[in-house]
Structures are given as C-alpha cells and as structure tokens.
Homo-oligomer: A and B are copies of this chain.
C-alpha cells in the first residue's frame, strides 16, 4: 500500500505503513525516519510496532498538507532503497 490521505481531528495527513519481518528491522527503519525528520526540520509521527512502522506527515503550522509533506513522503520511501 502506498501513501494514503487521512483526515484526523479535521487535519489532512499523509500516511503509509511499512512492514518488516521483525521488530529490529522495523526499529532500524523508524530511526532512519527520525534522522530524516531532524535533517528536514519537519517531524512526522512515527508509530513503531512489531514488524511495522506507520509514518504520518502533515504540517502543523497550516493544520494540513503542504508540498513539503509530499517531498518528505518521497524521501521516506527512498530510505528503503
């Protein structure tokens, strides 16, 4: 599944689930996303579970989606390559 627009508390967000074969791999990916967030000065929510990471991008300042969120979503995908 690709990035999916979600409305949560009236805020449009861009969300994607990434699956992994164990916790350690999911954990490593969540750290890569956190590093990306710090590098971009833009912070998604990162939900780490066993074998799964859910990343959600949106722009707090506008309570919605900005072009930058789509760029960060693409950069998140690129971490896997």
Chain A residues near B (Cβ < 8 Å): 23-24, 27, 30-31, 34, 37-38, 43, 45-50, 60
Closest residue of chain B to A27 (Cβ to Cβ) is: B34
Q: How far is the CB of A40 from chain B (nearest CB, A)?
A: 11
Number of copies: 2
Q: Of B27, B30, B43, which is within 8 A of A49 by CB? A: B43
B48/A23 in contact, CB under 8 A? no
Extra inter-chain contacts (7) besides given A23-B34, A23-B37, A46-B47, CB under 8 Å: A23-B43, A30-B30, A30-B34, A43-B49, A46-B48, A47-B47, A47-B48
Among A23, A34, A37, A38, the most chain B Cβ lie within 10 Å of the Cβ of A34
A31: B residues at CB distance < 8 A: 31
